[in-house]
Amino acid sequence: MRTSLCDRLGIELPIVGFTPSEHVAAAISRAGGLGVLGCVRFNDAAELDAVLSWMDENTGGKPYGVDIVMPAKIPAEGTSIDLAKHIPQGHRDFVERTLRDLAVPPLPDDTDERAGVLGWLHSVARSHVEVALKHPIRLIANALGSPPVDVIEQCHAKGVPVAALAGKAEHAVRHVDNGVDIVVAQGYEAGGHTGEIASMVLLPEVVDAVGDRVPVLAAGGIGSGRQVAAALALGASGVWMGSFWLATEEYLQTMGESEAMQRALVAAGSSDTVRTRIYTGKPARLLKTRWTEAWAAPDAPEPLPMPLQNLLVSHAHNRIHHAADPSVVSMPVGQIVGRMDRVRPVADVISELVSGYEETLSRLDKTR
């Protein structure tokens, strides 16, 4: 399982793993892939800096990358207090009523609560880039398409390639025109922000549209060696996996008290996800739970635009996380959740991808 991407990024396997957990990211890099740490959870640049220093010491000298969330167009900006003025009271009342209906208790008084995820804000994402470029990162990926051109130039000046997610071929071409070095083609089946075109159709379209200009990674629906082989057959130079790492042992090392979430993921089938705007204001695939169902009810309000929706629900997310009820989880995950049937070490996941890939190629040999 070796492609041109391996030489490009200095990795052994064309497996790029996106995760908010530094323990997972480091384990992916140590196992021969490229661990990509999601920065959106860091409101404080100093905190990100400390975690990247930890990465520098724990990847065994292997490459790693970071993922930021930066729209090319600058959306509403300001502190969470400024922005909060734009949230209608009816929406706040719905959230409060829903949490009560779902028996999600208030947080204990001594809980140190975060003030919403400010990583969605442009200024905060820019601080992530600046901090990350002080570390020996090998990739900056942007979850919302091309970052602004000056950010791309800043990365290139440090020799760091930039990857951008695309759900349509025309978006991919625009990213490359802006200077993006790697396109992540994210299919409908993927977790988190996702478009409507499934990977089987999207991948060859994106590959043909960008031609030889940049490599394409396949995102969405990857959790076995068969799926890696399918992605490479469709023309991808590697895979981008996000959901699958949520059910790893290393995830708990960073994200303590996530056992209820992991139980919910392990129990879920591939039909148990929903694509909805309730997480961030843009369509994103989440685990289907009593929380997403409440937002799908006829009396539920329309989700607010980004970044207001995430501010609206961030306190609810803290309460939901603390309640630890597997039926009321709020978590982005792809349709591959149906294959996440136990919690494993990262290295086991990767060695199974490699052996499954080799078996698949041997099976395909027999069709000639």
- Convert residues 285-304 into a mask of x (bound to its own copies by CB under 8 A) and - (unbound): --------------------
Radius of gyration of the chain, Cα coordinates, nearest whole angstrom: 20
- DSSP character at residue 301: P
Binding residue for its own copies, selected from 75, 179, 235, 301, defined by CB under 8 A: 235
Residue 352 engages its own copies in binding (rule: CB under 8 A): no
Contacts of 366 (CB under 8 A, 6+ apart): none
Binding residue for its own copies, selected from 222, 247, 261, 311, defined by CB under 8 A: 222
Stretch that binds its own copies, among 130-138, 141-149, 347-355, 358-366 (CB under 8 A): 358-366
Binding residue for its own copies, selected from 191, 221, 283, 307, defined by CB under 8 A: 221
Nearest CB to its own copies, comparing residues 79 and 271: 271
Contacts of 305 (CB under 8 A, 6+ apart): 75, 76, 281
Phi, psi at 285, each rounded to 5°: -85, 130
Q: What part of residues 121-160 is at the interface with its own copies (CB under 8 A)?
A: none
Contact 69, 43 (CB under 8 A): no
- DSSP character at residue 109: T
Nearest CB to its own copies, comparing residues 112 and 365: 365
- Convert residues 166-195 into a mask of x (bound to its own copies by CB under 8 A) and - (unbound): --xx-----------------xxx------
Which residue type, as a one-letter code, is found at position 38? Answer: G
Residue that has been written with the tokens 């409908």 in this structure:
188
**Alpha-carbon gap, residue 320 to 116, rounded angstroms:** 14
CB of 8 to its own copies, least distance (A): 14
Residue 233 engages its own copies in binding (rule: CB under 8 A): yes
Q: What angle do CA 206, 216, 171 make, to 5 degrees?
A: 45
Size of the site for its own copies (CB under 8 A): 45
- Residue 76: helix, strand or coil by DSSP? coil
**Which secondary structure element, helix H or strand E, spans residue 99, and what is its range?**
helix 89-101
CB of 2 to its own copies, least distance (A): 5
CB of 276 to its own copies, least distance (A): 13
**Alpha-carbon gap, residue 31 to 250, rounded angstroms:** 13
CA-wise closest residue to 186 among 305, 295, 67, 353: 67
Which residue type, as a one-letter code, is found at position 178? Answer: N
Nearest CB to its own copies, comparing residues 273 and 310: 273
Contact 154, 102 (CB under 8 A): no
Contact 40, 68 (CB under 8 A): yes
Nearest CB to its own copies, comparing residues 29 and 335: 335
Nearest CB to its own copies, comparing residues 69 and 229: 229
CB of 198 to its own copies, least distance (A): 4
Phi, psi at 260, each rounded to 5°: -65, -40
Phi-psi map region of 281: left, alpha, beta (phi>0 left; psi -120 to 50 alpha): left
Stretch that binds its own copies, among 42-50, 60-68, 222-230, 247-255 (CB under 8 A): 222-230
Binding residue for its own copies, selected from 92, 290, 339, 344, defined by CB under 8 A: 339
Residue 244 engages its own copies in binding (rule: CB under 8 A): no
Residue 1 engages its own copies in binding (rule: CB under 8 A): yes
Residue 65 engages its own copies in binding (rule: CB under 8 A): no
CA-wise closest residue to 4 among 215, 271, 274: 215
Partners of 240 in the beta sheet?
A: 16, 219
Q: What part of residues 196-215 is at the interface with its own copies (CB under 8 A)?
A: 196-202, 204-205
- Convert residues 245-274 into a mask of x (bound to its own copies by CB under 8 A) and - (unbound): -------------------------xx---
Summarize as ranges the residues that interact with its own copies (CB under 8 A). 1-3, 168-169, 187-189, 196-202, 204-205, 220-222, 224, 226-227, 229-235, 270-271, 334-336, 338-339, 358, 360-361, 363-365, 367-368
